[in-house]
Amino acid sequence: MASVQLDSNKQLERETLTKSSKQLGLTEYWAEREIIENPAYRSIAQPFVWHWRDMQPLLAKASDIVPMEEAYRRALLFANPGLAPKAWMTTTMYGGCSWYNPGESAEVHRHPPSASRFVLSGDGGWTAVDGEKCMMSRGDLILTPNGSWHNHGNDGKEPVIWMDLLDLPLAENLNNSWVMEYDYYEQEEGGEAAKRSTQTITRTEDYSQKIYGIGGVKPTFLSHKRAAGYGSPMYVYRWKHTVEALNRLREFLADPCDGISVEFIDPTTGDSVVPTLSFGVHMFEPGFEPDFQRKTASTVYCVIQGKGRTEMDNGKVLDWEENDIFVVPSSTWYRHINTDPSNDLMLYAVSDEPTLKKLGFLRRQRRQADGNVTER
């Protein structure tokens, strides 16, 4: 910054100017140019990994000493150190790991942020969304779009652990104030509407799969509007179908950065499953050497199978293995390496790319081994 020599009179006047500006809620651009223009001064999400081996014992302890009734969410939230004091993973995404003991349940509620679940461990867990009881197995994606009533439970014999992921920080930053609503009413038989803590299941078992489970085929005689009408009317994406799809794609040339990758879509529009976030899976076969990439979007990953590391610029590395969850924030050069010589690496990936794309902020670049950078 150019510094101009001022006579002492002007110096005094400037001090008064600074003071007066501050008092009026004004900031002098010239004085704080560094802070305004330099991203290094901003509090931003950091690349970070949460290890299952550390997290699981803490959740197990909580399952013993924290009663479900205390908050109806027995969850450890992923708090990115760059975003403290908020417990956010990125400036757009919030997530946590929830533990449900056999027989436990959480009351029905709804909120403006769109939510998702992704089971990490245990069978018998379920989420009821808009009248559909979605049974959840490891690797399944369950959606709870903006405004849909939902409640959870575990009918199984073992504890269930799943990852919750919501666009809550985005909703909060847009002043779509984070409102948890618990006033759920159902019409009693021939009587008044009564407040309920669970919703009646009104849809046939595995509704989402029955209606949309065969790709490219859409029933024309049923309504595709569900809940508030935001996001996909298909609420369950089964892991076994995802694996089948990935296996069929092995014969094609993989993406140089993301490997063999698929995105879950709204089957009625082809769009991302919720308006704000994209959900998908990247598969890296053994020995695959991806190119580096960076995006203005941020991505949260969960290691559904395999192990490896994320390499970033300046020698920063995140090592991870099965069930670990990690974040690659916007603008970071990175690539994922499968370090297992004999097994595929499968990464579940959630990104705010649809939001950036809709707003005209999305930029993606690839950097090849020779250093050449191209737009994607």
Binding site for ligand GTQ (CB under 6 A): 73, 75, 96, 98, 106, 109, 111, 115, 150, 152, 164, 166
What single string gives the DSSP state of each residue in 198-209?
SPPP-S-TTHHH
**Least spacing, CB of residue 140 vs ligand GTQ, in Å:** 15
CB of 94 to ligand GTQ, least distance (A): 7
**Minimum CB–partner distance for residue 161 and ligand GTQ (Å):** 12
Least distance in angstroms from the C-beta of 151 to ligand GTQ: 8
| Nearest CB to ligand GTQ, comparing residues 111 and 336 | 111
Q: State which residue, 100 or 237, has the beta carbon closest to ligand GTQ.
A: 100
CA distances from 164 to 88, 99, 113, 302 (A): 12, 11, 12, 11
Residue 98 C-beta: closest distance to ligand GTQ, Å = 6
Among the listed residues 219, 202, 201, the one whose alpha carbon sits nearest the alpha carbon of residue 210: 219
Min dist. Cβ of residue 375 to ligand GTQ (A):
36
Q: Output the residue with the shortest Cβ distance to ligand GTQ.
A: 164
Angle at the Cα of 206 from the Cα atoms of 186 and 249, rounded to 5 degrees: 140
- Our CA angle for 77, 81, 84, nearest 5°, is 80
How many Å apart are CA 316 and CA 295, to the nearest integer?
17
Classified as helix, coil or strand, 37 is helix
Phi and psi, residue 346, nearest 5°: -120, 120
Q: Which is nearer to ligand GTQ, 98 or 298 (CB)?
A: 98
Helix (H) and strand (E) counts in the chain = 7, 24
Which C-beta is closer to ligand GTQ: that of 141 or that of 257? 141
**Nearer to ligand GTQ (CB atom), residue 82 or residue 169:** 169
CB nearer ligand GTQ, residue 133 or residue 294: 133
- Three-state secondary structure call for residue 16: helix
